[in-house]
Amino acid sequence: MAYVRRRDERNRTASVTGYILAINLVVAGLFAGAFAWVSTYPRVRGAARWIAAAYLLGALSFIIEWMVPVFDRPRFVVFAAFATSLGGVGLLGLGIARHYGQRLPIRLFGAALLFGFALNLAIFDMPRTSVLRVLLYQTPYILVMGLVARQVFLVRERQLIDTILGWLLAASAAHFLSKPVLAWAFGSGTTPQDYINTIYGVISQSMGSMIMVAFGLMMLAVLVSEVLADATAKSETDPLTGLLNRRGFEARARLAGPIVGRSGVPASIVICDLDHFKSINDTYGHGAGDRVIAEFAKHLSAALGDNHVAGRIGGEEFAVILPGATATAGRLFAEAIRTAFAGAAIEGLPQALRPTASFGVAELRPDDTMSSMLRRADHALYHAKNDGRDCVRVAPLDLQTDAGSRRGTGRG
């Protein structure tokens, strides 16, 4: 009766372990598909492909491990299960390195994998009940997973989600250290075929399942957040100039407004408008007009500082927020761009034709909002147009304007 009970317990344990292996296989396949789908987005294509391949290799490992009890001499099958599993971990590391823009450590991971393969073959005939054997079996996983975690912690400008990912990987490496203790406590079986019949097999596969799911979800979050950030940046970027479009500029202005207003330091805004742009478009074509806009944006971009916010807010109109700049500094900024642009030759235009731009500058007042400062700069721009164009005008600090106070000869 005791023998029958033990046999029934082993059968139940084997069923549970087999069930978990089946779940792991399905989960690995689903994550492989998810990362393959994410890889269709160019921004994260390289990293997602490596990670999709890692999960595919992991799925193959579960299939091979399922087959171990079928063979009387499973040396090759056991090694194949180990090699595909460890190889999948190595591919994860390459995917992470690719995502964070690091040089792919193929040689380092290759050396670690080769060491793991050689060690696995060397310990195959050691007693499976030996705690030392279990520790040596897990050592390559600890080493490779530690290298994967290292790839994340090498990133200098980590976000919170990246740090969480790094610690998750470090915890994954550490969990392999617990397996020798679990094998000693519950027994790992005397033969490779017995593994599926042990409580240790159930615990080991369950732990592996949790690690696989946690890492997959975390890495998907990292990649998808990158995709969303890239999509947001593209939706707020003018494709012709590379500057913010009106939507992006207004979004940054809303963020910068309260900060600038509370800081107590000066701030200015510059509005720029290309002169006679419509006549250039009508006479020389839209291609020439686009080159004029791109040339102006090139000079504007070259003058920007790290804390400046610049955007193309209309067809030929640009705006720049200059935190820390007085009206005098804003005028100097505008004059530098005006002078450089006025001397630029534009492809498709006659050599004698040099497009110009007009500028309006306004400094932040104590009672200002970003909108009111923008209106005063706009008012100054119209004065620049009235005064003959190709010049810079500064709005007086005591100027009173509203949305309907624009005067002048019109844009262009």
Q: Which residues are catalytic?
A: 316
In this structure, the number of other CB atoms found within 10 A of the CB of residue 397 comes to 13
DSSP secondary structure string, 175-232?
Answer: HHHHHHHHHHHH---SSGGGGGGSHHHHHHHHHHHHHHHHHHHHHHHHHHHHHHHHHH
DSSP 48-67: HHHHHHHHHHHHHHHHHHHH
Give the residue among 292, 297, 290 at the shortest CA–CA distance from 353.
Answer: 292
User: 155 - beta bridge partners?
Assistant: none
Provide the token pair at 55. 């999960």
Q: Order the strands of the 357-363 sheet from edge to edge.
A: 309-312, 317-323, 267-274, 357-363, 392-394
Using N-to-C axis directions, what is the helix angle for 75-99 and 199-235, rounded to 10°?
Answer: 20
Alpha-helical (H) ranges within 39-130 are 45-67, 75-99, 106-122
